[in-house]
Amino acid sequence: MFKGLFDNTEWAGILSTLIFFTVFVIAVVMAITKKKSDVDYMSNLPLEDDDIIETKK
């Protein structure tokens, strides 16, 4: 039943390229549409103390 599926494997390259570009475009759109306040908060996370982060939740 599945013998013919693996005879022609060029579909795998096309499918993986389409999945990659779809995920890439979604990531770019999410990065562009992110609020500036959210980006500022996340960019300061590595610099803050752990107890300050706990109180903001």
> pLDDT digit string (tens) for 3-54?
676 677 788 888 999 999 999 999 999 999 999 988 888 888 877 666 655 5
Q: What confidence score (pLDDT) does residue 27 get? A: 96
Residue type, 10: E
Q: What confidence score (pLDDT) does residue 16 get? A: 93
pTM of the model: 0.58
Distances (CA, A) of 19 to 9, 12, 39: 16, 11, 27
Q: What confidence score (pLDDT) does residue 57 get? A: 52
Residue 28 to residue 30: CA distance in whole angstroms: 5
53: number of Cβ within 10 Å: 12
Q: What confidence score (pLDDT) does residue 48 get? A: 66
Distances (CA, A) of 38 to 34, 35, 52, 54: 7, 5, 16, 17
